[in-house]
């Protein structure tokens, strides 16, 4: 074996080992929420989606060389290799934001449905939460009312019961609104633009936004390249978008979210991994799902359950080799997750580049490919 090749391998291994040592020391001693802050001009927060989904920009970060490459999202076709597998989250957002009024007083209450507990009982966030007392009923429209059943062990969390006649999905579709993040103030003209084109299973309170860039045509071109596309499921809830309110990151607790991985999905991913291919995840929710069902040997197992996995720098990835993602909020769990793929310093440098180059940020913003 040529000496130069051995040297290159040794240097790569040393670099990887040093990053892990540094990150683990930093994780144990200095992992603070404020360490994940960056300055973002307000005008870079995308308020509306691009006219064409795949017309967004794409920043590629090459971890091996630390090179940053600017392009457009359709370049992803060239970034993906025929030996890869593309894994995506096929959850579908429900119109989870509903406004009810107490008929006795006229007082209003905003409910954000997070997940079904059982029957017509739901876990939700109420605003203003202090006024959502047990036993109170809020009328949404002629078809739907919401009864407050009791408190839940999360800030602003309540157990509510939906009272309605008819088919639930149809009733909620007429009564609810898309639960857009608070930093989006523009009205969304087309609800489907907050759904991926491959969304299937209703249950999310927020969209897996990395997937919003794909079109059916682009996905067909990826398949034509011989790349299998695999669906997993994670219903996006409070665990994904809840802000970190403590300074010591270790004290933050992720709220659990429902996931499903089929035998077929696991078999395809494991086959690609065994053949030496990469597992490329579309989004942080897909990443958290796979990392929740993969053992230390890198084998993905099928299953249905709840995950509260919290990925921060120093974490050893068991499944994910590359990630397609959006640009995330400062001090968020999502920024911490993508930083774990390289290092906090590297990722903040990438974000500084994105700000300088005027990329669009957050849910309707541009994309990044970390490989």
Sheet of strand 67-72, all strands in order from the earlier edge strand to the far edge: 67-72, 57-62, 367-370, 322-326, 279-282, 85-89, 229-234, 257-261, 303-307
**Interval 353-365: pLDDT, tens:** 999 999 999 999 9
Report the distance separating Cα 276 and Cα 267, nearest Å. Answer: 14
Angle at 317 between CA 194 and CA 39, to 5 degrees: 55
**Interval 213-228: pLDDT, tens:** 999 999 999 999 999 9
**pLDDT value for 15:** 53
Q: Summarize the confidence of residues 249-271 as an average pLDDT.
A: 95
Q: Residue 207 in contact with residue 194, Cβ under 8 Å?
A: yes
Q: Summarize the confidence of residues 140-166 as an average pLDDT.
A: 94
Q: In which band, very low, low, confident or very high, does the pLDDT at 126 lie, cut at 50, 70 and 90?
A: very high
Strand 91-93 relative to strand 201-204, pairing: parallel
Q: Which two tokens stand for residue 37?
A: 């802050």
**pLDDT value for 217:** 98
Domains of the chain plus CATH, in order, are: 25-93+190-370 (3.40.1780.10), 97-175 (2.40.10.240)
Rounded to the nearest integer, the mean pLDDT of the chain is 92
- List the one residue out of 98, 82, 68, 6 whose CA is nearest residue 277: 82
Q: In which band, very low, low, confident or very high, does the pLDDT at 240 lie, cut at 50, 70 and 90?
A: confident
**pLDDT value for 293:** 98
Is the pLDDT confidence value at 8 over 80?
Answer: no
Query: How far is CA 118 from its chain centroid?
Result: 25
pTM: 0.90
Q: In which band, very low, low, confident or very high, does the pLDDT at 212 lie, cut at 50, 70 and 90?
A: very high
Report the distance separating Cα 248 and Cα 257, nearest Å. Answer: 23
Report the distance separating Cα 8 and Cα 283, nearest Å. Answer: 31
Q: In which band, very low, low, confident or very high, does the pLDDT at 5 lie, cut at 50, 70 and 90?
A: very low
């Amino acid at each position: 074996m040529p000496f130069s090749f051995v040297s290159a391998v040794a240097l790569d291994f040393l670099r990887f080992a040093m990053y892990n040592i540094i990150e683990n020391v930093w994780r144990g001693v200095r992992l603070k929420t404020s360490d994940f802050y960056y300055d973002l001009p307000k005008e870079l927060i995308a308020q509306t989606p691009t006219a064409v989904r795949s017309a967004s920009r794409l920043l590629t970060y090459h971890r091996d060389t630390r090179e940053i490459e600017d392009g457009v999202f359709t370049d992803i076709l060239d970034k993906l290799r025929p030996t890869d597998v593309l894994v995506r989250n096929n959850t579908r957002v429900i119109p989870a934001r509903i406004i009810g009024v107490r008929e006795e007083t006229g007082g209003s209450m905003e409910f954000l449905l997070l997940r079904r507990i059982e029957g017509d009982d739901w876990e939700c966030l109420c605003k203003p939460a202090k006024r959502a007392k047990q036993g109170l009923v809020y009328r949404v429209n002629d078809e739907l009312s919401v009864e407050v059943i009791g408190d839940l062990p999360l800030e602003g969390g309540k157990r509510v019961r939906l009272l309605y006649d008819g088919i639930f999905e149809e009733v909620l579709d007429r009564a609810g609104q898309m639960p857009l993040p608070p930093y989006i103030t523009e009205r969304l003209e087309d609800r489907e633009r907050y759904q991926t084109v491959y969304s299937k299973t209703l249950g999310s309170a927020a969209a897996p936004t990395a997937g919003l860039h794909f079109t059916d045509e682009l996905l067909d071109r990826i398949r034509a390249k011989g790349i299998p596309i695999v669906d997993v499921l994670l219903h996006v809830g409070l665990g994904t978008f809840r802000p970190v309110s403590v300074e010591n990151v270790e004290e933050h607790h992720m709220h659990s979210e429902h996931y499903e991985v089929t035998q077929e999905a696991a078999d395809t991913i494991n086959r690609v991994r065994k053949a030496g291919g990469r597992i490329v995840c579309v989004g942080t929710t897909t990443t958290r799902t796979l990392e929740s069902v993969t053992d230390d040997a890198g084998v993905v197992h099928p299953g249905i359950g709840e995950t509260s996995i919290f990925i921060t720098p120093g974490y050893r990835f068991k499944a994910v080799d590359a990630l397609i993602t959006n640009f995330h909020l400062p001090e968020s769990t999502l920024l911490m997750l993508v930083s774990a793929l390289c290092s906090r310093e590297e990722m903040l440098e990438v974000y500084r580049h994105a700000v300088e180059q005027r990329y669009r940020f957050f849910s309707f913003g541009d994309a990044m490919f970390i490989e």
